[in-house]
């Protein structure tokens, strides 16, 4: 195993570990909502767990896995060296430490303002030490991903063997991400101009455009974490800053603008890029309609900058024009996602008869997950319907968890199943993989649907029901969660059976 392979596997295995942790948290929260475990887990523990759960799931699992996959794939596809292996390892340790500290802030320090951090909840309700610990965890996470993005941009844009500065990378990034060179050429009236972005494979275009979204996300979150750090530090030092320094509505707009970019950069664009890479490889045929696909990625990037308002449809002081704008642009995601799925399915169609290998099956069900979760998203992102759905279990069930578990997670596993034999020259057992897929997908759908239907019956998210009002739904959700856990364990067994514990040890040895 070479250093590249080792780096990738280390990220992926750590990611899988965090997925397990997020899964346990999820199971515990469902169990508590079903009326169990109340003698072990109190209110503080429940909300602390809920606060760290998305950080463990998104940054521990999804980001860790994405970092590992892209550190490996981007240089491979470009036939180049990774810009800095040292920075890659630094991003590993900072991400691991960041997620760990965030986790500790919830479990040990009882920080429980949920990931939304709505101003001034963290400052008003929680001790400054806990806020400080949490903000340090958050800062480490975002330092890590910023290191990753820079490494990606430098690897992609720096010409091999030439000395160029960060300014060069930045200029190329902005120009190519938004096709500014083409716009310039159009203005000048140049005929038959081929945009610079065409010299990069579609996968790479998806990676750097997705990274633009996630970089903006990381910068926003770094800013917000710094605000939390400043407020908590100053109150630890004895002078309390007034919370009125920050306006709750402005804060909420900035928060959602930045946070939504992780949904659209990481979840949508990275996923699309991964499909564009894997599907042609798996069916042995080039991607259908490449030029359209490139335009779609650009459209996705532009759309993603203007959809944050769909998180704020329940805020009546928010200007109505923004509410309507948020709704209309969000429907644009139906078009971009629709075209993405079309290109992928048409590629498979033109390659038929297709042998459905493990990764291809995972991708097909992941697409199904995106179709289901995306449709739910568009319904709740409509101003009028949001009045009846906002903050109910619907939002977190049939939208967020379907997208994250059936959609994103299955695509990430497709990458793992597809890359494992390339990295290690040994294939994972395909029958166990089938069991993994069936258990995980059905579990995700059962759990999320039970939550969603509870939401239709009025069950709120982010809310404990001490009288067990929605226990039947939560039992069903718990059963779905257990199916997913069984699928997850099947994967672990498969991995250990194929590669042995010795591989795991090698990956983590210096």
Partner 1 sequence: MYIQVFIEVFYLTLVVVYFAFIGFFMWVTSRKSRGRREESKAEEKGAEKGMERDEKIWLVFLLVVAIVGNIVMLSPAIPSIRNVLWVNQVPEKTFEIFIENYEFKLPKYPVRIKVGQPVEFIVRTNDVTHGFGVFREDGTMVFQIQVLPGYDNRIVWVFDEPGSYTIRCTEYCGFRHSEMVVYDAIMVEGG
266 is an interface residue for partner 1 by CB under 8 A: no
CB nearer partner 1, residue 122 or residue 265: 122
Pair 42, 486: CB distance under 8 Å: no
CB nearer partner 1, residue 246 or residue 486: 246
**String of DSSP letters for 250-288:** HHHHHHHHHHHHIIIIIIIIIHHHHHHHHHHHHHTSPPT
354 is an interface residue for partner 1 by CB under 8 A: yes
81 is an interface residue for partner 1 by CB under 8 A: no
195 is an interface residue for partner 1 by CB under 8 A: no
Scanning residues 227 to 246, which ones bind partner 1 (CB under 8 A)?
A: 244
> Comparing C-alpha atoms, which of 37, 186, 44, 195 is closest to residue 106?
44
CB of 323 to partner 1, least distance (A): 9
Chain centroid to CA 82: 23
Handedness of CA 116, 119, 121, 126 (dihedral sign): positive
Q: Is the peptide bond before 353 cis (omega within 30 degrees of 0)?
A: yes
Scanning residues 389 to 408, which ones bind partner 1 (CB under 8 A)?
A: 389-392, 398
460 is an interface residue for partner 1 by CB under 8 A: yes
The distance between the two most distant Cα atoms of the chain, rounded to a whole number of Å, is 73
Member of 387, 426, 431, 497 binding partner 1 (CB under 8 A): 387
86 is an interface residue for partner 1 by CB under 8 A: no
The mark string for 18-37 relative to partner 1 (x by CB under 8 A, - otherwise) is: --------------------
475 is an interface residue for partner 1 by CB under 8 A: no
Member of 64, 367, 412, 450 binding partner 1 (CB under 8 A): 367
User: What is residue 206's three-state secondary structure?
Assistant: helix
CB of 296 to partner 1, least distance (A): 10
321 is an interface residue for partner 1 by CB under 8 A: no
Listed ranges 164-172, 227-235, 320-328, 489-497: which one lies at the site for partner 1 (CB under 8 A): 320-328
CB nearer partner 1, residue 223 or residue 338: 338
Half-sphere exposure of 298 (CA within 13 A, CB side): 18
**String of DSSP letters for 146-179:** HHHHHHHHHHHHSPTT----HHHHHHHHHHHHTT
The mark string for 96-115 relative to partner 1 (x by CB under 8 A, - otherwise) is: ----------------x-x-
170 is an interface residue for partner 1 by CB under 8 A: no
Q: Which residues are CB-contacts of 17 (< 8 A; sequence separation ≥ 6)?
A: 60
190 is an interface residue for partner 1 by CB under 8 A: no
350 is an interface residue for partner 1 by CB under 8 A: yes
Scanning residues 112 to 131, which ones bind partner 1 (CB under 8 A)?
A: 112, 114, 116, 118-121, 124-125
Pair 352, 415: CB distance under 8 Å: no
CB nearer partner 1, residue 196 or residue 248: 248
421 is an interface residue for partner 1 by CB under 8 A: no
464 is an interface residue for partner 1 by CB under 8 A: yes
438 is an interface residue for partner 1 by CB under 8 A: no
456 is an interface residue for partner 1 by CB under 8 A: yes
259 is an interface residue for partner 1 by CB under 8 A: no
348 is an interface residue for partner 1 by CB under 8 A: yes
Q: Please give the Cα distance from 100 to 53 (Å, whole number).
A: 12
Paired strand residues for 460: 392
Q: Which residues are CB-contacts of 286 (< 8 A; sequence separation ≥ 6)?
A: 280, 347
CB nearer partner 1, residue 102 or residue 380: 380
383 is an interface residue for partner 1 by CB under 8 A: yes
What's 281-310 look like in SS3? HHHCCCCCCHHHHHHHHHHHHHHHCCCHHH
What's 109-146 look like in SS3? CCCCCCCCCCCCHHHHHCCHHHHHHHHHHHHHHHHHHH
Listed ranges 137-145, 226-234, 347-355, 415-423: which one lies at the site for partner 1 (CB under 8 A): 347-355
């Amino acid at each position: 195993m070479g250093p590249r392979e080792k780096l990738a596997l280390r990220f992926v295995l750590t990611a899988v570990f965090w997925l397990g942790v997020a899964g346990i948290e999820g199971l515990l929260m469902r169990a508590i909502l079903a009326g169990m475990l109340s003698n072990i887990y109190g209110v503080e523990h429940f909300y602390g767990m809920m606060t760290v759960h998305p950080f463990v799931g998104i940054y521990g699992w999804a980001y860790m896995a994405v970092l590992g996959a892209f550190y490996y794939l981007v240089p491979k596809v470009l036939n180049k060296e990774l810009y800095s292996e040292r920075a890659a390892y630094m991003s590993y340790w900072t991400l691991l430490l960041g997620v760990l500290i965030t986790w500790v802030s919830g479990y040990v320090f009882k920080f429980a303002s949920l990931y939304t951090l709505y101003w001034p909840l963290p400052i008003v309700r929680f001790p400054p030490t806990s806020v400080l610990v949490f903000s340090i965890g958050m800062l480490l996470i975002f330092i890590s991903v910023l290191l990753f993005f820079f490494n990606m941009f430098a690897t992609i844009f720096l010409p091999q063997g030439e000395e160029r500065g960060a300014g060069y990378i930045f200029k190329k990034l902005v120009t190519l991400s938004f096709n500014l060179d083409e716009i310039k050429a159009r203005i000048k009236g140049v005929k038959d101009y081929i945009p610079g972005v065409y010299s990069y494979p579609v996968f790479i275009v998806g990676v750097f455009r997705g990274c633009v979204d996630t970089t903006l996300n990381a910068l926003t979150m770094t800013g917000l974490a710094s605000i939390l750090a400043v407020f908590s530090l100053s109150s630890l030092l004895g002078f309390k800053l007034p919370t009125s320094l920050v306006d709750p509505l402005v804060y909420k707009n900035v928060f959602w603008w930045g946070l939504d970019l992780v949904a659209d950069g990481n979840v949508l664009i990275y996923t699309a890029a991964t499909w564009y890479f894997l599907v042609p490889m798996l069916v042995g045929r080039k991607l259908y309609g490449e030029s359209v696909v490139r335009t779609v990625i650009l459209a996705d990037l532009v759309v993603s900058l203007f959809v944050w308002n769909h998180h704020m449809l329940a805020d009546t002081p928010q200007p109505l024009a923004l509410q309507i704008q948020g709704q209309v642009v969000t429907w644009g995601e139906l078009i971009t996602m629709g075209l993405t799925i079309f290109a992928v399915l048409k590629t498979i169609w033109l390659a038929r008869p297709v042998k459905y290998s493990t990764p291809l099956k995972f991708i097909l069900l992941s697409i199904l997950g995106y179709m289901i979760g995306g449709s739910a998203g568009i319904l709740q992102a409509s101003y009028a319907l949001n009045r009846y759905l906002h903050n109910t279990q619907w939002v977190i069930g049939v939208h967020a968890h379907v997208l994250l578990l059936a959609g994103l997670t299955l695509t990430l596993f497709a990458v793992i199943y597809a890359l494992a034999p390339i990295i290690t020259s040994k294939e994972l057992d395909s029958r166990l993989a089938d069991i993994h897929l069936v258990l995980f997908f059905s579990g995700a759908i059962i759990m999320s649907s039970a939550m969603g239907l509870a939401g239709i019956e009025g069950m709120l998210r982010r809310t404990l029901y001490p009288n067990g009002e929605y226990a039947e739904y939560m039992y069903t959700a718990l059963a779905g969660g257990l199916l997913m856990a069984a699928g997850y364990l099947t994967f672990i067994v498969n991995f250990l059976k194929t590669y042995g514990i010795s591989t795991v040890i090698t990956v983590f040895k210096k």
